[in-house]
Amino acid sequence: MCGRFSLSLDFADLLEYFQIAGSPPPFSPRYNVAPSQQVPAIRTEQGARRLVMLRWGLVPFWAEDPRIGYRMINARAETAHRLPAFRAAFRKRRCIIPAGGFFEWRRQGRQKLPFHIFRRDGRPLALAGLWESWRDEQQGREIESCTILTTAANRLLAELHERMPVILEPADLARWLDPEQSSPAPLATLLRPAREGVLDMYPVSDYVNKPQNEGARCIAPAEVSG
């Protein structure tokens, strides 16, 4: 799964790497992004890539209560194209969630030890996502929200968890964001575990375990006792 990530990337570098057009909303570096928070996402609008802010936890357009989003932070890549909550978004509303890294926990007895996972080449992670728009007719408000797709863990991540977020390679970005591509079959080929050697990880302190904690301490390598 993917329940927490970091986004401590340089804003200008992020815009250049993903070739984002227009005037995106500015955001500050984040080190402990949690569900229900606003997260930057990249989607295609009028033929160009735009950076927008979405609430993490997808609220289906047909939902009666937006709190359903708390259970929709992830969608399984193998089934998202056919489940009622995600299938319309899979065909028409795909996005990329940029990240510097993400967190996963390994059980050790009663403890859960956190790890920070990132690309070895220093590039941003392009997490495959879906977005949706939900309108509260009574209050006249609209919520745009997103979910992160997950797939089976590769060998590195299998040490921690059986699932991992789908990480798109640079050559995959255009096809994933192409609004003309709506057939699930060609898109499914992109939703695979990261190749071995692409990612690396290291343990961090349990400071990151609390979603309210922020700052560079969240991704600092844990002190190893001798």
What does the block give as tokens for 6? 């970091």
For residue 26, which amino acid is it? P
CA diameter of the chain = 60
What are the residue numbers of the active site? 2, 104
Could you tell me which residues are beta bridge partners of residue 115?
104, 203
Q: In what order do the strands lie in the sheet containing 101-108?
A: 30-33, 5-7, 101-108, 111-119, 199-203
- Burial degree of 220 (CB within 10 A; 0-12, 13-18, 19+): middle
